[in-house]
């Protein structure tokens, strides 16, 4: 029996991937690193540090420089976040959350992002969530299961009674590793290993998933 739904943020609740892309691109241009939208796709659901490692593509730089680049990118990203409003909630998500609330099913967030709380606030969705797991909650990022286990613990529900909604390959891996069922959002090539695959968020139907 499903007692909780745990949602990823970027790519499920809203599409911040474009803003992450613009912020990384600005930093990469300043540093003369090659970066494009195709590489950005590899950053989906991946932590800030792991994202930078992908962009560095084997270049060796000091830990001090790594910290500076991550901070600079995050400052550009936070600047861009000020443009987010309730209009940026992905199709069908608000109704889906409202229905879970009405059915008494717990709702939690499990995002790799350290900016998850302000983003949820800007979207106007914070009151619909019972718990928030974010980049500050755990040390190991997806594909480690930690953030999902943390979120389930926050709402007091066992892993096998949770359903996760995820758009990233690493996120689906993490949720399965946590012992949860997963709805993958996006193409089969990316989330085909989920228990159910949904092309996009507008096609999510609570009663269908529970059945
Ligand atoms: P931040 P999610 C992830 O969010 C993004 O998909 C990923 O691109 C980003 O690097 C990561 O959060 C960390 O974000 O730099 O804001 O801490 O999909 O797990 O909600
Ligand atoms: Mg995501």
Query: Cα separation of 120 and 9, whole Å?
Result: 8
Is cis: bond before 114, omega within 30 of 0? no
Catalytic (active site) residue 8: yes
4-15+86-210: in CATH 3.90.1150.10: no
What residues line ligand 1, using a CB cutoff of 6 Å? 8-11, 20, 43-48, 51, 74, 111-115, 135, 168
Length of the chain: 211
The DSSP letter of residue 89 is: B
Residues of the chain with pLDDT > 90: what percent? 94
88/36 Cα distance (integer angstroms): 23
pLDDT in tens, 164-195: 999 999 999 999 999 999 999 999 999 999 99
Residue 101 exposed, middle or buried by CB count within 10 Å (0-12, 13-18, 19+)? middle
Q: What is the ipTM for the molecules in this complex? A: 0.93
Please give the structure tokens belonging to residue 54.
């992908």
- Residue 205 reports pLDDT greater than 90: no
Q: Is the pLDDT of residue 61 over 90?
A: yes
> How far does the centroid of ligand 1 lie from the alpha carbon of residue 103, in Å?
29
What pLDDT does 45 receive?
A: 87
Residue 57, Cβ neighbours under 10 Å: how many? 10
Q: Which two tokens stand for residue 8?
A: 């990823």
Q: Which residue ranges make up each domain of the chain?
A: 4-15+86-210, 17-81
CB–CB of 66/52 below 8 Å? yes
CB 189 within 8 A of CB 172: no
Residues lying with their CB under 5 A of ligand 2, a single-atom ion: 8, 10-11, 45, 167-168
Q: So what's the architecture of 17-81 in CATH? A: Orthogonal Bundle (1.10)
The atom number, within ligand 1, closest to the CA of 50 reads 10
Asked if 4-15+86-210 and 17-81 have one fold, the answer is no
Helix axes 146-155, 169-177, angle to 10 degrees: 60
């Amino acid at each position: 029996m499903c007692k909780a739904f745990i949602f990823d943020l970027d790519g499920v609740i809203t599409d911040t991937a474009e803003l992450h892309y613009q912020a990384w691109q600005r930093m990469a241009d300043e540093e003369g690193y090659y970066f494009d939208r195709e590489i950005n796709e590899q950053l989906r659901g991946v932590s800030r540090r792991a994202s930078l490692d992908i962009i560095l593509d084997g270049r060796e730089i000091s830990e001090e420089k790594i910290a500076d680049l991550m901070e600079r990118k995050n400052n550009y990203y936070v600047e861009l976040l000020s443009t987010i409003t309730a209009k940026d909630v992905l199709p069908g998500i608000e109704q889906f959350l409202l229905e879970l609330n009405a059915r008494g099913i717990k709702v939690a967030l499990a995002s790799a992002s350290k900016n998850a709380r302000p983003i949820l606030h800007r979207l106007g969705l914070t009151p619909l969530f019972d718990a928030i797991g974010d980049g500050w909650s755990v040390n190991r990022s997806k594909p480690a299961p930690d953030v999902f286990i943390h979120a389930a613990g926050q709402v007091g529900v066992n892993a096998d009674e949770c359903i996760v909604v995820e758009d990233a390959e690493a996120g689906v891996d993490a949720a399965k590793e946590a012992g949860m069922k997963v709805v993958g959002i996006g193409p089969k090539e990316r989330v085909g290993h989920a228990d159910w695959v949904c092309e996009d968020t507008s096609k999510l139907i609570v009663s269908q998933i529970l059945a």
